[in-house]
Structure 1
Amino acid sequence: MTLLVRRSELALPACNDHMFAKALSCGADLVFLDLEDATPESLKESAREKAITALAEMDWGRTVPAIRINGLDTKWCHDDIIEVVTRAREKLHTIVVPKACTARDVWWVDLLLTQLEDKLGLTRRIRLEVLIEEVEGLANAEEIAVASDRIDAIIFGVGDFSLSQGARVDTNFEPLGDYPGDFWHYARNKTLVAARIAGVLAIDAPYPDYGNVEGYERDAHRASLLGYTGKWAIHPAQVPIANRVYSPTAAEIALAQRNIAAYREAEANGRGAVGVDGVLVDAAHIKMAQATLARAAAIDPDLLRGDTVSAGR
């Protein structure tokens, strides 16, 4: 799996340029200027201009600059891609593709980007993140995830998926009644499996109730247990929570280091497994430990030295 760091992805309405500076300073791993759902139809073109200006002129620091284009079935999508790429050029890193239903949807964006990059002489390929937020998209998630080598992440988009499925949920996309377990477990898990097949990141859905920080953390933690590597944020206050939840803890890092050390010692003595604190550790455990340490190093090498302060960045 890729070692890209996308613990927090902050959604920012592209029409609200007064929010840009704060969003770019909150420590999100990626911020996307949303030309789609967060921008009303009457402001689509002016929002595109604001996004281009922000990409070209603002200091993004370590935050990955991205846009979410309008749906492929809309009259704005074509110009979103051509105008932003032509004018922002390599200042744009990632395009978020909404409502992908088939692999051909991704193929179309990939082909258009290839033509633009060749025409403009760009030296870096623009990356893609793809939203699974329709029932057809979920059914085709595995094919979508492998449709382009530009894809860095697959995202579960619970909002539109709720509508597509016909689910009876509230504005936080939680069931309007008693339901055992995680209401979205099947969709979350299938999206995650598709991402893992492609070897890309899996990003969990937004949590609209931004005032409920405990709920956001609970949602993020549950998704992280499944294997999700990050979560959308719709408010800067959610960003440090996602950064912390999707970073390995000091205890996880210490256990990984301890297991590797014990296994290497056993290996040197001709054994293929060892007991650590009464628990068997074999080659499979070492692969898990190595993955934990690699992720920690990708986030911040200081984490491996016991400095966990930057995990909340």
Structure 2
Amino acid sequence: MSVQRHYEREFVRTFFTSPTAVDGEDDSAKMLRSAGQLRGLQAPDVWVPDNEDATAPNMRDEGVENIVEVVSEHGGDFPGEIHPRVVWHRESPTTRYQGFQQMLEIADPENGAVEHIDGFVIPEVGDVDDWKKADEFLTIIEHEHGLSEGSLSMSVIVESGEAELAMGDLRDEMGKPSNTLERLFLLVDGEVDYTKDMRAMTPTGELPPWPELRHNTSRGASAAGLIAVDGPYDDIRDDEGYRERMTENRAKGMTGIWSLTPGQVVEANTAPLPPESGRWLLSVGDEDVELDAVDGRHVYDGDALSLEETGDGQFALEAGGDRLELTADELREELLDRTAYVPSMNDIVDSMEEFEAAKAAGKGAIAMTQSATLVVDGVTVEISKDRMWDEATYQASQTPVALFQDVYEHRPDQHDDLEAMYGEDVVERATAVGN
């Protein structure tokens, strides 16, 4: 079934939550007000004024007032989308009604905020019938306030086994005349409550990694034409762990991640973009080591792998306690197997442009060569590999460029940062290729 989407974004990198009211502050909306003024790489693609978990229950009425006030004042200039999170629970009619009342107040045109609000985030959903209840409430709100049907998008947080299974029902349910689930936008993982719902335990008390949930959410979003977002990474000082989590997610097709601080927003805004410069990796033991680029050569400067020339065109390569006696050709093949290249934005654009030119000339596939000069223990080895490019390769390589194009279109506040990162020429070519 083809689903008619009600929004333009193809990618979301950052999902940033802010408490709507903080007790004990002279200005309870202080953090909300600060978040509403973020710009450039510090500003998320989706800002979530959080009137649920991030805000104490006794402050939530004030939180609704703060959302209205701050979004009315700053929403017009905020560069990302704005999706407040309200209270909801699949097992509590009272909580669902409270969420309805919160959305009804926030979306009242007389309050001046709704013109800047793109939708709402619904937490703690259950099976697909529960999703339909939230959808119906949004339809009622739109009719009550004279808003266009479907103008308010709906994102859900997957925090239960029921919600995880419900993602498999979306393709059958979306588009039925009895609902407007086409308003769905984001599927967001909430691993903390999911762990509680699953009654899962670990020896240390830390959260399980839940790769299955992240895969299922990414698959559910792909099948229904939605966008998948990973949950919060709560060790806010572990930048390397945050990057590793995002790398794992992107391999599952999940570009977006929850951000808890402006620092995490910057990390998550930049990490999915193609790198500024390419780099060669060498497999050493269980890890890939980035080689140092020195005067056009790529140098391994470690102790886990050694190479020496033994005479008569023979070489000895030692790695992991194994010693290999190799000819020059065998050495090149061994290093080819151990190396990989991470292309830069310019590399990707170059390859796409070359394939587009070949296709225009009537060729269905072409070979592209990657070559490098490696230096290991002072021994220089020239390697090269050919890769066949056909239409499928071209389409796969287009994904990171499509992300860049989506960012460039929807985040003009980041244009200067992107041009500083890549250069004006690369940016111009990257916005044009593939179109």
Per-residue CA deviation, residues 288-311 of structure 1 (Å, 9 max, x unaligned), is: 2333322211212669x9653799
**Who is 1:56 aligned against?**
72
8 A contact 1:9–1:233 mirrored in 2: yes
SS at match of 1:153: strand
The residue that corresponds to 1:67 in the other structure is: 84
Aligned to 1:156: 189
Question: Partner residue of 1:76?
Answer: 98
Match of 1:193? 219
Report the counterpart of residue 260 of structure 1 in structure 2.
Answer: 352
Alignment match, 2:156: 130
- Residues matched between the structures, number: 303
1:102/1:144 contact within 8 Å kept: no
Per mean C-alpha deviation after superposition, the further-off stretch among 253-262 and 84-93 is 253-262
Q: Does 1:275 align with 2:367?
A: yes
CA contact (8 A) 2:246 2:255 kept: no
User: Within the alignment, does 1:308 sit opposite 2:421 as a pair?
Assistant: yes
Contact between 1:3 and 1:294, CA under 8 Å: does it hold in 2? no
Matched with 1:106 is 131
What is the aligned-residue RMSD (CA, Å)? 2.7
Offset at residue 271 of structure 1 (A): 2.8
Identify the structure with bigger relative contact order (alpha carbons < 8 Å, sequence gap 6+). Answer: 1
Aligned to 2:31: 19
Confirm or deny: 8 A CA contact 2:14 2:46 kept in the other structure. yes
Task: Confirm or deny that 1:228 pairs with 2:254.
Answer: yes
1:90–1:122 Cα contact (<8 Å) kept: no
User: Mean Cα displacement is larger for which, 23-32 or 264-273?
Assistant: 264-273
Q: Structure 1 pair 130/172, CA: closer, same or farther in 2 (3 Å)?
A: farther
Once residues 195 and 116 of structure 2 are traced to their aligned partners in structure 1, the CA distance between those partners, rounded to angstroms, is 34
1:3 is displaced (CA, Å) by 3.6
Query: Shift in Å at residue 58 of structure 1?
Result: 2.5
Cα pair 1:224 1:245 within 8 Å, conserved: no
Q: Is the 2:13–2:255 Cα contact (8 Å) retained in structure 1? A: yes
User: C-alpha distance in 2, partners of 1:268/1:45?
Assistant: 61
Match of residue 91, structure 1, among 91, 112, 116: 116
Pair 1:171–1:27, CA change in 2 (3 A): farther
The letter for the 2-side match of 1:131 is: I
Q: What is the CA-CA distance between 1:68 and the residue it aligns to?
A: 0.6
What is the Cα deviation at residue 5 of structure 1? Answer: 4.2
Question: What is the match of residue 264 of structure 2?
Answer: 238
Separation (CA, whole Å) in 2 of partners of 1:50 and 1:170: 41
Q: Classify 1:66/1:3 alpha carbon distance in 2 versus 1 (closer, same or farther; 3 Å).
A: closer
Task: List runs of 5+ in structure 1 lacking aligned partners.
Answer: 176-182
The answer on 1:174 being equivalent to 2:174 is no
Largest Rg, 1 or 2: 2
Q: 2:54 maps to which residue?
A: 38
Offset at 1:42? 1.7
Q: TM-score, normalised by structure 2?
A: 0.64
Amino acid at match of 2:80: T
Give 3-state SS (helix, strand or coil) of 2:83's partner: strand
Change (3 A) 1:204 1:172: farther
Deviation of 1:252 after TM superposition, in Å, equals 4.7
- 1:10 Cα offset (Å): 0.8
Inter-CA distance 96–144: structure 2 relative to 1 (3 Å threshold): farther
Identity among equivalent pairs (%): 22
Structure 2 unpaired stretches of 5+: 23-28, 175-180, 277-342, 370-385, 410-414, 428-435
| Counterpart Cα distance in 1 of 2:65 and 2:204 | 30
Q: Show CA shifts across 1:68-103 (max 9, x none).
A: 110143152121121111243322212111122222
Query: Quick check: which one's helix share is greater?
Result: 1
1:210–1:234 CA contact under 8 A, matched in 2: yes
2:400 counterpart letter in structure 1: T
Match of 1:288 in 2: 396
Letter in 1 for 2:120: I
Q: How far 1:144 moved relative to its partner?
A: 4.3
251-260 or 193-202: which moved more? Answer: 251-260
Corresponding residue for residue 10 of structure 1: 16
